[in-house]
Every structure is written in structure tokens, then in C-alpha cells.
């Protein structure tokens, strides 16, 4: 029996004309919502890029949340009035690490959130983002990105939760729950494998079905199990077919196997790409038919009405096939409550967006996102002993949010009480110490006069900016507006104005008391300078309150607790590099390199010390648990992240040497001890056998307890026979 939303959708579908149906599967995006906007905006389309994303462009001051809400309400009124059956549109947008219709609260980029190993925190962040989207009328967001970053040359690594299947699954699911709890459709992307060898974005995928199912599909499935009701198809092709028209992905796996009952959207101009980029169709009409027949439901972002109409007229697509797409869209609109409650309160928007609670949450998230990579006794700094701080690097006077999906179209993100690191340092030290900001040409004269020197790095990366060199870029690197980027990102010019590696070495020679703060979204090759620097902080892009969090960490007010969600290689020649690799028939090293990362997955230092003791294993027929006592043996309160890995053998198929299967973030006061239990469910021991059947097959498994993928504290042997798990004798 169909539920109420499906019943209403089916009844409405029967009353629609063919043209009305076509409008529901097509969309529009208007860059400039001024002047003759109402004449240019056709109110009959089923989906729109929300106008708030563009309302701030070329204005002297940004549009307020209330103004954005009023504009979306007006668009909604016009659409409902123009529709013969009063069908409201879905206003959509981005929400990678904040509501991107305007100046919403800006949280750490996803790679930073992943460093917290704290899905509960991520869900709270998503709740805040969901509120700031829903309150203005943005009801679908193209987030989270749950592609795995296993080649960090990929420019979009910053958008991901790193390289690990479990961590990306947990973080993506948490994001989906938080968004959907607030009446916002989560749209995990990009389904399913979004880059190719060399980290090349959207290039043809040669990933096998085994690897796809073992690695790249599980995070998406976790998102759907968490309630996500939409998904975005990737630009690239898999197994010879563009993902936007890939029936194997969009129908057979997504719907027939997994039971997904939401709707699928294209990436922007992805359907056009079926004929232009992939050359799989002669016309856009043929491409649209291929996509809609294969399981894609909404063609974003521009008007494809004529293409779909032509596809129907020429018989590429039947009305019965189109009905399936429209039914899924209408069902989703009824689920959202758009028909019953389409408008939002502008005053509520002004009170909700960047509220005090949301800014406080941004600070909390930033504190957990930062990873301390190296510390030879320099940190934490003593506020009472520091009298002069030297600050270098062009990121020092920028809000540390990163350029990728961090603001509305054509306008830098700005927010009250969102300082740059330089501003946060000066506010924190006030009259107690002098903070001086110097250029690279002042290093030799300025650095020796300071008690400590801080260098803030800069890098060009993001969508459309894949890298072939992992070193910090020098003065010659420049990124032009719109160059190879997406339609609505990478719109700002960015130039590196310093030979950063040289400056870091010069800084350490001038004054060894130096800290390098990395602001980046993907690993950096540090080999040219890491031995010279006594302390390195991986800040990622910690968001609008990140500068405050960094100052707290530098001065020991906050104890760093983040762990790396991705390996940091020694050099680009090691790539692709990830910890969960499968066995080699020869070895893992090179003749000039041991093949190991500079810093492994799961690594991160603290200002305190921890000990783990009395580890014990308990097993049942289809699950296991490892318990241990964790003690804070140092002088500071802090958090340790316990990690439980599984390595399998005697399985008949090659399995990864180790995979993260459970983790726990443990907060301890100095001197405190807690008993912690990490539990593994049945699926942790399941795998695809030689016939690609997933199940609890026979095999042996080693459970490894540690604090990184390379630091093992205790291990236990288990065995599966006849579908039952037990401790090995």
C-alpha cells in the first residue's frame, strides 16, 4: 500500500499535462536576481538554484537572511500561482560546510570535520546548517561529498571526509541526519566514483566493480540508510557509461538493490556532458532521454525543456518512462511539506542565521578539527612569557575558511566576529605582547627580534584545481577567475605571493623558535623543510571561528585532539597512497623511498600523554568487542581517539592489510582513567567472496587496537567458520 505522500503524488501525476511533467524534471539558475529578474525567471520549472546565492553580487553590503527569505517566498508565490496545479518548486543550493545561499555560519571544511573523528559533532553542525537553509526556504542541498580521497592530487580532497570507508560513511550519515531532521533534502555526491588516476577530477573511472562495492559505494549507502532522499550523479563515466545515464548505478544498484526511494539529480550540466564531454550521444535530446530512462530524475541547472520535449517527440523517451521520474519528484515535494507549508518567516531567518549558538558551535568544531603534527617542545606557548610574536605568510590575514564552497556567488564570505589569525592573535595578546606582521623580505631582520614566529601557508586548490605537485606553491602560481572550475565555484582570483618553502627555511634559520600552520584542504609535501621546523599544525580550513581556535591551541587553552583522516605522503611519487591497501606480491617500497607516509592515517599529537592497558576481547557468533582502560598520564586535560583495525587472511580473496572498523573519542581529565569498549558488528567481518557475494564467509581476522593506523597497542586473533565468529585458539 502506498503511503500518503505517494498517494497524493500519484493522483496529481494523473492530472498533469505532458508539458507540466517536462517542467518537473527540468530546472533553471539565474545568476542576477535584479532588474528584469521576474521576466527572465520562468515560474513553471520544478527546481531552481535559490536566488540567495546570487543576491549579494556587486552589492555594497550583503543581503540579510530576511531579504533572502522574502525573495525566495516571492519566487515560491509566483511559481505556485503560475502552475495550473499549484506545484511548488524546490529551491536548492550548496551546504558543504555551511549554508551557502549567503553569509551563513561557516564551519570547518569537511576534511577538518573528519579530523575530529566525532560524528556526533558533525551531526550537530549539520543540524545548524539545516536550520540556516530551511529557515530561508532552501529545501535541498547538494551535500555531503562522500567520495573517498585516495589520491590527494584531486583538487576536491578538501570537500571529502578523507580516505577511509568507515569514517566517510559515519560522517556522511551524520551530515544527512542533521540536514534531513530540519526538512532539508540531503543530496550526497558524486555518485559514485568521481576522479581517476592521478587525482584527475571527473576523468573516466577504471575502478572495478569489486573496488566500487568495497570502497566507493558504502559511504553512499550509509547516507541513504541515514535518510538521504536524493543523490547527485557524478560527471565521469564508469564501465563505459556516463554516471548521469548509468542504469547499473542509478537503477540496478541504487533502487533495485538498496531500495532507494528518493530522486536523482545531475551534476551541473552533467546531462549535456553525455554528448559533449563523453560523446555518447549525438544531441542533448538523446542525452536527456538516456539519463531519464536510466534513473536520473532532475536535469540541473539550466533549462532543458526543449531537449526533453524533443526526446519525447522523436521517441527516444516515452511518457510512461517520464512518469516514473515525475512521480519520484512529486513524492519528494509532498514529503517536504512544500504543498502544505511553502513559505518561511523572514524575521525567523534573521534570528537564526549566525546565531550566538551557531557561532559557538563553529568554534567548538574548529577546536576538534586541528591536528598537531610535530612538536619539539615549542608548543604550547606561554602567554606570560611571550612579548613579541612574528607573523608571516599571506594566509595570516585571511579568515581561514578556504575558497571552496565558502560564500555566495562572486562575493567573499564575511561575518561579524570572524577574525583572521592576525586579528585573533592581537585580540588575545592585547597589551601583553606585540604582534608584528612581516613580509618574506623582512624575515632576516624581523624574525630574530621575536620570541616566536608563526608562518601561515597558502595554496591554490579546490574544484577544477587538481595538483601534480604537492609542495607549497611559490610566487609563480596563479588561479584565474572561473578557470576550469565549476559553474558557481572558484570564481575568485587567487595568487601566491611568496616562495613558501624558501621562506620557511629562512625563518627557521633566522629563529629556530618557529611554528608552521598549514591552511590547506589536502596533504602537503613537507620534505624540503619538515626537519628544520620544530612544530607543525595542520589547521586545514577551520572555518569562521578557526582563528580563535588556533590561538587557543597555540597557547594551550585548548589541547589539540584531531587525527589525520588521510595519509600525508613524503612526496607525490608515492601516490596514490592510503593505509587500507591490499597485499603486494613483491613489496611496498621504492628503491629511493620506503613507501610509508610521512604521517599515517589516524595520527595526531597532544599536549598530554595517554596510556592504554588491560585490553580484552569478547566474541559472540556474529560480533566482537574489544575493551581497554585509557588513562591520561600527562599534565593537561585532553582527548584520545582509540582506533580498532581489522586485517583478514585465509579468505580466498585478497583483503586489505588493515581497515578501520571502530573508533572512540575519549575525553579525559589529567589523571583520569576510563574503561572503553569498541564494538564490531557482523558487517565488520563480512566481505565479497570470489563470486562477489557479500557475507560472513570463512576466514581469519586480526583485530588491532591502536591510536593510528601505524601505532598498534594490542592485537587479537579471531576466526569465522560456518557463519560463526569466535576467538582463535
Pairing relationship of beta strands 452-456 and 90-93 according to DSSP bridges: unpaired
Q: What average pLDDT does range 38-47 have in this prediction?
A: 96
How confident is the model at residue 679, as a pLDDT?
A: 97
Q: Over the stretch 92-125, which tens digit does the pLDDT of each residue have? A: 999 999 999 999 999 999 999 999 999 999 999 9
In the chain, residues under CATH classification 3.20.20.300 are 4-351
| β-pairing verdict for 478-479 and 494-495 | antiparallel
- Residue 702's H or E segment, with its range, is strand 699-708
Name the CATH superfamily for 610-727. Answer: Immunoglobulins (2.60.40.10)
In the predicted model, what is the mean pLDDT of residues 375-384? Answer: 96
Mean pLDDT computed over every residue of the chain: 95
Task: Read off the C-alpha cell for 283.
Answer: 544531441
The beta strand positions in 106-262, using DSSP E, are 140-141, 185-186, 195-196, 200-201, 230-232, 237-238, 241-242
β-bridge partners, 675: 629
* Element housing 390 (H / E): strand 388-392
- Cell numbers given for 651: 579468505
CATH of domain 366-574: 3.40.50.1700
SS3 content of the chain, % helix, strand, coil (to 5): 35, 20, 45
Q: What is the pLDDT of residue 58?
A: 86
Mean pLDDT for 177-189 is: 97
669 burial type by CB count under 10 A (0-12 exposed, 13-18 middle, 19+ buried): exposed
- pLDDT at 481 (0 to 100): 47
Region 298-311: mean pLDDT is 95
Position 63 scores a pLDDT of: 96
Q: Which fold has domain 4-351?
A: TIM Barrel (3.20.20)
Q: Which of 116, 545, 560 is nearest to 374 (CA)?
A: 560
The owner of cell 586473533 is: 717
The Cα 322–Cα 320 span in angstroms is 5
The confidence band for 483, taking pLDDT boundaries of 50, 70 and 90, is very low
**Residues carrying CATH 3.40.50.1700, the chain:** 366-574
C-alpha separations of 251 from 260, 320, 395, 555 in Å: 9, 16, 45, 54
pLDDT at 18: 98
Place of cell 590575514: 397
DSSP code of residue 100:
T
The full DSSP string for 513-578 is: -EEEEE--SS----TTTTTT-SEEEE-----TTHHHHHHHHHTTSS------SS-B-SSGGG-S--
Residue among 719, 720, 155 at smallest CA distance from 473: 155
Q: CA-CA distance, 356 to 591, in Å (whole number)?
A: 55
Does pLDDT of 70 surpass 60? Answer: yes
Tens digit of each residue's pLDDT (9 = 90 or more) over 246-286: 999 999 999 999 999 999 999 999 999 999 999 999 999 99
Residues of the chain with CATH 2.60.40.10: 610-727
Pairing relationship of beta strands 624-632 and 27-28 according to DSSP bridges: unpaired
pLDDT over threshold 90, residue 480: no
pLDDT digit string (tens) for 117-165?
999 999 999 999 999 999 999 999 999 999 999 999 999 999 999 999 9
- DSSP states of 236-271 as a string? SEETTEEGGG-HIIIIIIIIIIT---SEEEPPTTHH
For 558-598, the pLDDT digits (tens) are 999 999 999 999 999 999 999 999 999 888 888 888 999 99
Cβ burial, residue 321 (10 Å; 0-12/13-18/19+): middle
The residues near 457 (Cβ < 8 Å, ≥ 6 apart) are 393, 395, 472, 500, 516, 517, 518, 519, 520, 524
**Cis peptide, bond prior to residue 380, ω within 30 of zero:** yes
User: Which helix (H) or strand (E) element contains residue 312?
Assistant: helix 305-313
Angle between helices 421-429 and 546-554 (to 10 degrees): 50
Higher pLDDT, 477 or 671: 671
The pLDDT-based confidence of 479 (bands split at 50, 70, 90) is: low
Confidence tier at 311 by pLDDT (50, 70, 90): very high
Residue 1: per-residue pLDDT: 37
The end-to-end CA distance of the chain, in Å, is 51
Of 458, 369, 22, 435, whose CA–CA distance to 161 is shortest?
A: 369
Residue 491 has pLDDT above 50, yes or no: no
- Percent of the chain past pLDDT 70, that is, above it, reads 97
Give the residue with greater pLDDT, 492 vs 470.
470
* Bridging pattern class, strands 241-242 and 237-238: antiparallel
Q: For 416-463, what is each residue's pLDDT tens digit?
A: 899 999 999 999 999 899 999 999 999 999 999 999 999 999 998 989
Average the pLDDT over 536-556 and give the result. Answer: 98
pLDDT over 50 at 358, yes or no: yes
pLDDT at 489: 63
Amino acid at each position: 500500500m502506498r503511503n500518503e505522500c505517494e498517494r497524493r503524488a500519484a493522483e496529481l501525476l494523473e492530472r498533469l499535462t505532458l508539458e507540466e511533467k517536462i517542467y518537473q524534471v527540468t530546472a533553471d539558475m539565474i545568476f542576477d536576481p535584479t532588474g528584469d529578474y521576474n521576466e527572465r525567471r520562468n515560474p513553471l520549472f520544478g527546481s531552481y538554484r535559490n536566488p540567495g546565492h546570487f543576491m549579494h553580487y556587486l552589492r555594497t553590503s550583503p543581503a540579510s537572511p530576511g531579504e533572502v527569505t522574502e525573495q525566495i517566498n516571492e519566487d515560491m508565490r509566483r511559481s505556485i500561482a503560475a502552475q495550473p496545479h499549484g506545484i511548488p518548486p524546490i529551491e536548492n543550493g550548496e551546504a558543504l560546510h555551511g549554508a551557502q545561499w549567503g553569509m551563513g555560519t561557516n564551519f570547518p571544511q569537511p576534511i577538518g570535520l573528519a579530523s575530529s573523528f566525532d560524528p556526533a559533532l558533525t551531526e550537530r553542525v549539520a543540524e545548524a546548517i539545516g536550520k540556516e537553509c530551511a529557515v530561508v526556504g532552501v529545501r535541498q542541498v547538494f551535500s555531503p561529498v562522500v567520495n573517498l580521497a585516495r589520491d590527494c592530487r584531486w583538487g576536491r580532497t578538501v570537500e571529502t571526509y578523507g580516505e577511509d570507508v568507515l569514517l566517510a560513511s559515519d560522517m556522511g550519515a551524520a551530515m544527512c541526519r542533521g540536514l534531513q531532521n530540519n526538512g532539508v533534502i540531503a543530496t550526497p555526491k558524486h555518485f559514485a566514483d568521481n576522479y581517476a588516476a592521478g587525482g584527475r577530477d571527473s576523468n573516466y573511472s577504471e575502478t572495478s566493480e569489486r573496488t566500487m562495492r568495497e570502497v566507493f559505494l558504502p559511504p553512499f549507502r550509509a547516507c541513504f540508510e541515514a535518510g538521504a532522499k536524493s543523490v547527485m550523479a557524478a560527471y565521469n563515466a564508469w564501465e563505459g557509461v556516463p554516471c548521469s545515464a548509468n542504469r547499473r548505478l542509478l537503477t540496478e544498484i541504487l533502487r533495485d538493490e538498496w531500495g532507494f526511494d528518493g530522486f536523482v539529480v545531475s551534476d551541473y550540466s552533467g546531462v549535456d556532458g553525455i554528448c559533449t564531454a563523453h560523446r555518447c550521444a549525438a544531441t542533448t535530446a538523446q542525452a536527456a532521454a538516456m539519463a531519464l530512462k536510466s534513473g536520473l530524475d532532475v536535469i540541473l541547472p539550466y533549462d532543458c525543456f526543449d531537449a526533453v520535449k524533443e526526446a519525447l517527440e522523436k521517441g527516444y523517451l516515452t511518457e510512461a518512462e517520464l512518469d516514473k521520474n515525475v512521480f519520484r519528484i512529486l513524492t519528494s515535494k509532498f514529503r517536504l511539506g512544500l504543498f502544505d507549508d511553502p513559505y518561511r518567516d523572514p524575521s525567523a531567518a534573521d534570528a537564526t542565521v549566525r546565531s550566538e549558538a551557531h557561532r559557538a558551535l563553529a568554534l567548538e568544531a574548529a577546536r576538534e578539527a586541528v591536528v598537531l603534527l610535530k612538536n619539539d617542545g615549542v608548543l604550547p606557548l606561554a602567554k606570560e612569557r611571550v612579548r613579541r610574536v612574528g607573523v608571516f605568510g599571506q594566509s595570516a590575514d585571511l579568515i581561514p575558511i578556504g575558497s571552496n564552497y565558502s560564500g555566495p556567488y562572486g562575493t567573499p564570505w564575511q561575518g561579524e566576529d570572524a577574525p583572521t589569525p592576525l586579528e585573533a592573535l592581537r585580540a588575545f595578546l592585547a597589551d601583553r605582547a606585540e604582534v608584528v606582521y612581516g613580509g618574506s623580505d623582512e624575515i632576516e631582520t624581523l624574525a630574530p627580534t621575536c620570541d616566536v614566529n608563526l608562518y601561515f601557508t597558502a595554496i591554490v586548490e579546490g574544484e577544477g584545481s587538481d595538483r601534480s605537485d604537492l609542495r607549497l606553491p611559490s610566487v609563480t602560481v596563479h588561479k584565474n577567475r572561473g578557470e576550469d572550475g565549476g559553474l558557481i565555484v572558484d570564481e575568485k582570483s587567487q595568487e601566491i605571493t611568496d616562495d613558501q618553502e624558501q621562506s620557511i627555511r629562512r625563518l627557521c634559520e633566522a629563529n629556530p623558535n618557529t611554528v608552521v600552520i598549514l591552511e590547506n584542504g589536502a596533504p602537503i609535501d613537507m620534505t624540503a623543510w619538515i626537519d628544520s621546523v620544530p612544530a607543525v599544525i595542520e589547521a586545514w580550513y577551520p572555518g569562521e571561528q578557526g582563528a580563535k581556535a588556533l590561538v587557543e591551541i597555540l597557547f594551550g587553552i585548548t589541547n589539540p585532539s584531531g587525527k589525520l583522516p588521510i595519509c600525508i605522503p613524503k612526496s607525490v611519487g608515492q601516490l596514490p597512497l592510503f593505509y587500507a591497501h591490499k597485499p603486494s606480491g613483491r613489496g611496498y617500497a621504492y628503491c629511493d623511498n620506503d613507501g610509508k607516509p610521512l604521517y599515517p592515517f589516524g595520527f595526531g599529537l597532544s599536549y598530554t600523554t595517554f596510556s592504554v592497558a588491560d585490553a580484552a576481547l569478547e566474541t559472540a557468533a556474529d560480533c566482537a568487542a574489544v575493551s581497554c582502560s585509557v588513562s591520561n598520564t600527562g599534565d593537561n586535560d585532553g582527548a584520545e581517539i582509540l582506533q580498532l583495525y581489522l586485517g583478514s587472511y585465509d579468505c580466498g580473496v585478497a583483503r586489505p592489510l588493515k581497515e578501520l572498523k571502530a573508533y572512540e573519542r575519549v575525553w579525559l581529565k589529567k589523571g583520569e582513567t576510563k574503561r572503553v569498549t569498541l564494538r564490531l558488528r557482523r558487517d565488520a567481518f563480512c566481505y565479497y567472496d570470489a563470486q562477489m557475494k557479500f557475507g560472513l564467509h570463512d576466514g581469519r581476522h586480526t583485530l588491532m587496537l591502536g591510536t593510528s593506523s601505524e601505532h598498534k597497542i594490542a592485537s587479537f586473533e579471531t576466526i569465522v567458520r560456518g557463519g560463526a565468529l569466535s576467538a582463535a585458539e
